[in-house]
Amino acid sequence: MSSARERLQALTSQVGVGGKAKLEQKNPDDIVVTCALRTPITKGGKGGFKDTFAADLLLGAFKALIQRSAIDPSLVEDIAVGTVLAPGGGATEFRAAALAAGFPADTAVKSLNRQCSSGLQACVDIANAIKAGMIDIGIGAGVESMTTQYGPGAVSEFSDKLEEFTEAANCKVPMGVLSENMAKDRGISRAAQDAFAAKSFQKAEAAQKAGLFDQEIAPLEVKWADPKSGEEKTITVREDDGVRKGVTAESLGKIRPAFAKDGSIHGGNASQISDGAAAVLLMKRSTAEKLGQKILGKYVTASIVGVPPLLMGIGPWKAIPVALQKAGIDKNAVDIFEINEAFASQCLWCANELGLDYEKINPKGGAIAFGHPLGMTGARQVSTLLYELKRTGKSIGVTSMCVGTGMGMAAVWVAE
């Protein structure tokens, strides 16, 4: 039995679901979320945002957040933006986006890169700054234009002595190879992966049709060039355009493997290359009540862990038990797990090893169905999670993802 699963079972006997009531208690010093939103997520290279730069995606998210929350921009003291591919880390363009959105010169901005967990790390950094008394109000955000910034040139080479890390750090293709090897080593069949991926598409299609993403999505008006005529048009992107209709395990079974002739991973059971941005407004409960801000939920705690670089996909398996232990709850107390679907193989393995209930994982689908803009995902999961918890009358959720170079991150949230 895996050590992570043993820890989860040990936690069940130690803390039980009784910790849930304690977690749901409301205190003035709680770090709460008063607004969480995202742009639609669009297909890299051909979707609605193919001609929109990351800074403009972020600008749209910032403007929507100010409008929806009705927060006075001058009260926001710091903004952290997670991104992976932006040249120079995006520091200059993201500061410009904040100023253009209406935040004053007094509002500080930083960019950060912790690979696929960058958006979550941005939210956690802001939450910790509020806890420490460094700021009162801040925004954790994430953005990625994989259309304009994705590719081999986006990742620098490491020293020859760090060959293992180089292999794990490069983006889509090497990680796919790693996941292919993991699927073979851990006995995860193509049939199981395709069934999981098909379910992701089906859940996302049903959620989109029912309008379940509408509350979290902020439509964005952008310039878009018709690929056939070259004519530039102004369009409003309102929904995720990567969600395929009518996908089944059988239809996915016809797709050619991407990384090996006899492989199991392909474009239909791995996350899509996509564009998008997300933003989360955080402050103490006492501050929110003073300002009359509506509270969506609260941040509880987070974990960041390392795993072997060539097994980077197992990150959630190790990070989730640590986050639950910090929160004082067990897996049975969690109503929804938002686990990033970098690859069906890695998400499946983590869920199986932790013994998670599949009905609780990504109830509206995941990155296989609607995409994984690298820096955005961690911030995007917050709105996806909190709105779904509220809609279903549930309270406790976990967001998690594997992280390139061999890491995992997880966070615990409570909806209100």
Burial of 226 (0-12, 13-18, 19+ CB in 10 A): exposed
Give the contacts of 188 (CB within 8 A, at least 6 positions apart).
182, 264, 345, 348, 349
Taking the C-alpha atoms of residue 162 and residue 258, their distance in angstroms, rounded to an integer, is 26
SS3 of 34, please?
strand
DSSP-derived secondary structure letter, 134:
S
Task: Look up residue 222 and give its amino acid.
Answer: V
Instruction: Judge whether 228 lies within some domain.
Output: no
Determine if the pTM surpasses 0.75: yes
Residue 105 confidence (pLDDT): 98
Whether the CB-CB separation of 283 and 31 falls below 8 Å is answered with yes
Three-class SS state of 223: strand
Residue 258: predicted pLDDT: 79
Q: Which of 381, 316, 301 is nearest to 37 (CA)?
A: 381
Backbone phi and psi for residue 294, each to the nearest 5 degrees, phi listed first: -75, 130
* Euclidean distance between CA atoms 292 and 337, whole angstroms: 30
Q: Which of 123, 171, 350, 372 does the annotation list as catalytic? A: 372
Catalytic residue among 123, 171, 347, 402: 402
Note the pLDDT of residue 175. Answer: 67
| CA nearest to 267, candidates 278, 253, 277, 257 | 257
Count of structural domains within the chain: 1
Domain encompassing residue 320: 3-151+273-415
Which residue is listed with tokens 């669009």? 42
The domain that contains 368 carries what CATH number? 3.40.47.10
Residues 6+ apart with CB under 8 A from 374: 83, 84, 85, 115, 116, 118, 144, 146, 171
- Beta strand 42-43 pairing with 78-82: unpaired
In a domain, 261, yes or no: no
Give the whole-angstrom CA distance, residue 258 versus residue 288. 49
Residue 2, pLDDT score: 55
Both tokens of residue 107? 């509002």
The answer for residues whose C-beta is within 8 angstroms of residue 335's C-beta and 6 or more apart is: 360, 389, 392, 394, 395, 396, 397
Query: φ, ψ for residue 409 (rounded to 5)?
Result: -140, 150
Our answer to whether residue 372 is catalytic in this structure is yes
User: Which of 186, 152, 330 has its CA nearest to residue 264?
Assistant: 186
Whether 157 is in a domain gets the answer no
In a domain, 253, yes or no: no
**Which positions of the chain have pLDDT values less than 70?**
1-18, 151-178, 181
In a domain, 329, yes or no: yes
Q: Is 402 a catalytic residue?
A: yes
Q: How far, rounded to the nearest angstrom, does the alpha carbon of residue 85 sit from its chain's CA centroid?
A: 15
| Side-chain-side CA neighbours of residue 167 (13 Å) | 14
Q: Could you tell me which of 205, 221, 222, 171 has the C-alpha nearest to residue 51?
A: 222
- Nearest C-alpha neighbor of 60 from the set 215, 221, 233: 221
- How far, in Å, CA of 224 to CA of 235, rounded? 7
Give burial (CB, 10 Å; 0-12/13-18/19+) of 289.
middle
Residue 354 DSSP symbol: H
Asked whether residue 8 is assigned to any structural domain, the reply reads: yes
Task: Give the distance, in angstroms, between the CA of residue 259 and the centroid of all CA atoms in the same chain.
Answer: 25
**Residue 78 placed within a domain:** yes
Residue 103 included in any domain: yes
Q: Which of 116, 123, 171, 350 is catalytic?
A: 116
pLDDT digits (tens, 9 = 90+) for 22-70: 999 999 999 999 999 999 999 999 999 999 999 999 999 999 999 999 9
Looking at residue 237, its amino acid is: V
Give the pLDDT confidence score for residue 120 in this predicted structure.
98
